[in-house]
Amino acid sequence: MRDDDEDDVVCQYELASVIDLREALTAAAIDFLDVDNERTIVIYQSAIIMLTATDGTATAARAIDAELWEPPAEEIGHEPAELLTILVEELLTMTDTSPIE
């Protein structure tokens, strides 16, 4: 279960075009659970991550937050923020879009 902790790792991404997070997760064969219109829980490399559409919805997002809820069960060689970036980059590859720098 998630602990509310001020050490939470959250990364924010603005996107060049609208993406469907759930379609991208399905295309990348990443396990997820819909929470509501904006939030989706993702299991990625055994980490639990909350993706939140901060501009739009999970099926039409222009901006997202990725929050690490639980780190991977085993050491995977990535810092938490790097793991979130790798996940988001994989989703953006699936949707042929990019972050706004």
- Of 42, 93, 94, 92, nearest to 72 by C-alpha is 42
Of residues 59 and 5, more confidence is placed in 59
Of residues 73 and 91, more confidence is placed in 91
Share of the chain above pLDDT 70, in %: 93
The domain spans of the chain are 9-95
- Res 99: pLDDT: 80
Of residues 4 and 90, more confidence is placed in 90
- Of 59, 52, 45, nearest to 87 by C-alpha is 45
CATH 3.40.50 holds for 9-95: no
Residue 5 has pLDDT above 70, yes or no: no
- Res 1: pLDDT: 40
